[in-house]
């Protein structure tokens, strides 16, 4: 791309040195700079990208965008701007030629259910023959291939790059999980969403946002950033049972589609029944009542399916086509996913790591428990992250008959510090604190009797544990099956 054409999108700048005619790439990481590229220095939490400008130039960068003039050597032009992060959003969108304008962009935000709802929408789109890409906690899925990503909502450059790749591969739609960090830190700058979906807002991430008000405000940016261009067919999908939806409705002028189980909503569910690994309910829609059967377990998944239904209905799909897809859906990876095993136990892998999700996960399993059996719930939480939610997590976990308190990614925090914070919220004495997660999983199996249910929560789809800053392989399911074989077979 012509360098001057690209730089036209940042209005106030000082240029030092001779700009190259063209640049071939943009990068924010000196470790992946290509020759003849533009390096943008970003001040991070851990390090300041300005310190890597020389490395970027040595690797072939011919333009450096920085917040101050840097003492760098080599054939390079410096572009000085007030805020490189803001400039990055403008430059990345221009460099990739605003790819989100050419594709239906669906953004899903909320404390719990982002991965589930976006996965459901993506798989329904694929089932309907619409080529779709997906990005979120599990990674970036394009053409059935899953690429690892750093974040739920990635940095602004990777985000534009992913949308561009989806567009170039002929995708008609892209479904994205939109985290509150992503919104607050401007990682979605320049992404033009067509549909914005809200699942719910409950306690999480207060280490970053400070208060629920700030957290709720960050999520609301998805709705206010939809803009005002009424030539575009945009829609908002809100959970009528969550009080934050009223605020989000005020933040947009686009049509609002509501869903829920308790309050008045456009899409509702009645007569929910949970039996034998099957959920059935009547879906009430603007076109009448439709009986639904699904393999997705629990009331929370009824909410998730209603949200997905509203998205498709808003885009003009028939209710028959929507229901057909719902009935074909496989459970979302690591979200109340039943482990196939010949052990005399029902084992579920789940990703609950907030108080609300813990309550929802346990309640999803209760219909499958016989009165004579136990529900054992193992839950861990991350180290060096929001500590204020820990007692509330254990309080909700207390709904289970027996609880194992452990860690998920302890990072640099001591095991005992994590489990003792959790234990403060326990409402009964039937629990154990075991910081080593593998040992905790074995303990959960050791206290199980035939017919019991065990939910392993907090790791979901993840096949690793982060201890210190190292990722170690870890699978709750594999450890549980091995321990179960020793005990029961
Ligand atoms: C606190 C936070 O959000 N940190 C994010 C941030 O990292 P950072 O600020 O530490 O970046 P840094 O390492 O200091 O680097 C600064 C700059 O120097 C550059 N650099 C660095 C080293 C080098 O050798 N050369 C170089 O050029 C980097 O590429 C970067 O441009 O920028 C990184 C790249 O975009 C992110 O991956 C990283 O997310 C970390 C991993 C993280 O854990 N974030 C969490 C808090 C988060 O964002 N979570 C949300 C919500 C998830 C949920 O809903 O549960 C998410 O969307 O993932
Ligand atoms: N709509 C929902 N309401 C409440 N809890 C839910 C909902 N959907 C899923 N859950 C619970 O929350 C857990 C996490 O679900 P999911 O991964 O879909 O949420 P998320 O918003 O993507 O979370 P994260 O941002 O942490 O990845 C699930 O394993 C399940 O226990």
Tokens of 61: 């960068």
CA proximity to 357, closest of 196, 200, 136, 178 = 200
Residue 402 above 80 pLDDT?
A: yes
Specify the residue for token string 């979302």: 332
Is the CB of 469 within 6 Å of ligand 1? no
Q: pLDDT value at position 332?
A: 87
- How does strand 173-177 pair with strand 104-109? parallel
**Binding site residue list:** 30, 110-116, 151-153, 179, 187
Is the CB of 381 within 6 Å of ligand 2? no
pLDDT in tens, 437-467: 999 999 999 999 999 999 999 999 999 999 9
Is the CB of 356 within 6 Å of ligand 2? yes
Is the CB of 239 within 6 Å of ligand 2? no
Question: Which DSSP category does 407 fall into?
Answer: E
| Partners of 175 in beta bridges | 106, 134
Distance 350 CA to ligand 2 centre (A): 9
Contact partners, residue 290, CB within 8 Å, separation at least 6? 282, 283, 319, 323
Q: pLDDT value at position 386?
A: 85
| Partners of 433 in beta bridges | 405
Is the CB of 46 within 6 Å of ligand 1? yes
Beta strands in 243-287 (DSSP E): 256-260, 267-275, 278-285
ipTM summary value: 0.95
Contact partners, residue 251, CB within 8 Å, separation at least 6? 220, 223, 224
C-alpha to C-alpha distance for 359 and 203, rounded to whole angstroms: 12
Burial of 420 (0-12, 13-18, 19+ CB in 10 A): middle
Q: Using 50, 70 and 90 to split pLDDT, how confident is the model at 104?
A: very high
For a mutational test of ligand 2's pocket, the pick from 107, 115, 215, 272, i.e. the residue with the most ligand atoms closer than 8 A to its C-beta, is: 115
Average pLDDT, the chain: 94
pLDDT in tens, 223-236: 999 998 899 999 99
**Ligand whose nearest atom lies closest to the CA of 462:** 2
Cα Rg of the chain, angstroms: 24
Distance 433 CA to ligand 2 centre (A): 24
For residues 13-31, give the mean pLDDT: 95
Distance 151 CA to ligand 1 centre (A): 8
Is the CB of 155 within 6 Å of ligand 2? no
**Ligand whose nearest atom lies closest to the CA of 183:** 1
First to last CA, the chain: 65
- Does this model's pTM top 0.90? My answer is yes
Beta strands in 261-411 (DSSP E): 267-275, 278-285, 288-294, 337-338, 346-350, 375-381, 402-407
Is the CB of 304 within 6 Å of ligand 2? yes
Is the CB of 44 within 6 Å of ligand 1? yes
DSSP, collapsed to helix, strand or coil, labels residue 346 as strand
Residue 303 above 80 pLDDT?
A: yes
C-alpha to C-alpha distance for 337 and 455, rounded to whole angstroms: 9
Residue 276 above 80 pLDDT?
A: no
For residues 202-230, give the mean pLDDT: 88
DSSP, collapsed to helix, strand or coil, labels residue 177 as strand
Homologous superfamily of 3-96: MurE/MurF, N-terminal domain (3.40.1390.10)
Distance 164 CA to ligand 1 centre (A): 21
Residue 92 above 90 pLDDT?
A: yes
Is the CB of 396 within 6 Å of ligand 2? no
Greater model confidence, 209 or 267? 267
C-alpha to C-alpha distance for 160 and 165, rounded to whole angstroms: 9
pLDDT in tens, 29-74: 999 999 999 999 999 988 999 999 999 999 999 999 999 999 999 9
CATH of domain 99-328: 3.40.1190.10
Distance 154 CA to ligand 1 centre (A): 9
Is the CB of 444 within 6 Å of ligand 2? no
- In degrees, to the nearest 5, what angle opens at C-alpha 107 toward C-alphas 102 and 112? 165
For a mutational test of ligand 2's pocket, the pick from 260, 335, 365, i.e. the residue with the most ligand atoms closer than 8 A to its C-beta, is: 335
Domain boundaries, the chain: 3-96, 99-328, 337-488
**Over 146-163, what HEC string results?**
EECCCCCCCCHHHHHHHH
For a mutational test of ligand 1's pocket, the pick from 110, 180, 181, i.e. the residue with the most ligand atoms closer than 8 A to its C-beta, is: 181
Q: Using 50, 70 and 90 to split pLDDT, how confident is the model at 263?
A: confident
Tokens of 73: 């050597």
286-295's contacts with Cβ under 8 Å and 24+ in sequence apart are 286/313, 287/319, 290/319, 290/323, 292/323, 292/326, 292/327, 293/327, 294/326, 294/327, 294/329, 295/329, 295/330, 295/331
> From edge to edge, which strands make up the β-sheet containing 37-40?
14-16, 77-80, 61-66, 37-40, 25-27
CATH of domain 337-488: 3.90.190.20
Percent of the chain clearing pLDDT 70 (strictly above): 100
């Amino acid at each position: 791309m012509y360098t001057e054409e690209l730089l036209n999108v940042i209005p106030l700048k000082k240029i030092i040195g001779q700009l190259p005619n063209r640049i071939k790439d943009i990068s924010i990481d000196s470790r992946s700079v290509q020759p003849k590229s533009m390096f943008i220095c970003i001040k991070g939490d851990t390090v300041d990208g300005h310190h890597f400008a020389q490395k970027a130039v040595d690797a072939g960068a011919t333009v450096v965008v920085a917040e101050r003039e840097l003492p760098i050597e080599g054939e390079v032009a410096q572009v000085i701007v007030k805020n490189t992060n803001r400039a990055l959003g403008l430059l990345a969108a221009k460099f990739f030629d605003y790819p989100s304008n050419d594709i239906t962009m669906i953004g899903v935000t909320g404390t719990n259910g982002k991965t589930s709802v976006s996965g459901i929408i993506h798989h329904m789109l694929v089932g309907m023959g619409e080529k779709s890409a997906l990005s979120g906690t599990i990674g970036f899925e394009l053409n059935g291939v899953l690429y690892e990503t750093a974040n739920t909502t990635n940095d602004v450059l990777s985000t534009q790059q992913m949308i561009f790749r989806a567009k170039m591969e002929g995708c008609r739609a892209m479904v994205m999980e939109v985290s509150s960090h992503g919104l607050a830190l401007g990682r979605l700058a320049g992404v033009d969403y067509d549909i914005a979906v809200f699942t719910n807002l409950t306690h999480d991430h207060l280490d970053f946002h400070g208060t629920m008000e700030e957290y709720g405000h960050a999520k609301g940016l998805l709705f206010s950033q939809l803009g005002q261009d009424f030539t575009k067919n945009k829609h908002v999908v809100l959970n009528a049972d969550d009080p934050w939806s009223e605020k989000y409705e005020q933040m947009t002028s686009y049509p609002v589609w509501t869903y829920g189980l308790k309050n008045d909503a456009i899409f509702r569910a009645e007569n929910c029944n949970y039996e034998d690994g099957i959920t059935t309910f009547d879906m009430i829609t603007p076109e009448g009542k439709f009986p639904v059967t699904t393999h997705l377990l629990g009331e929370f998944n009824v909410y998730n399916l209603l949200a997905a239904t509203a998205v498709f209905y808003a885009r003009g799909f028939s209710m028959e086509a929507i229901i057909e897809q719902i009935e074909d859906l496989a459970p979302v990876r690591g979200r109340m996913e039943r482990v196939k095993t010949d052990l005399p136990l029902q084992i579920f892998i789940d990703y609950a790591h907030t108080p609300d999700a813990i309550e929802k996960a346990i309640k999803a399993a209760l219909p499958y428990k016989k009165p004579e059996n136990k529900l054992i719930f193992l839950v861990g939480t991350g180290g060096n992250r929001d500590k204020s939610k820990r007692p509330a997590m254990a309080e909700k976990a207390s709904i289970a008959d027996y609880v194992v308190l452990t860690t998920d990614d302890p990072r640099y925090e001591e095991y005992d510090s994590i489990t003792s914070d959790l234990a403060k919220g326990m409402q009964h004495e039937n629990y154990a604190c075991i910081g080593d997660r593998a040992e905790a999983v074995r303990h959960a199996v050791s206290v199980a009797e035939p017919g019991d249910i065990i939910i392993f929560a907090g790791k979901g789809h993840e096949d690793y544990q982060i201890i210190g800053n190292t990722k170690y392989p870890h699978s709750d399911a594999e450890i549980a099956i091995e321990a179960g074989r020793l005990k029961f077979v």
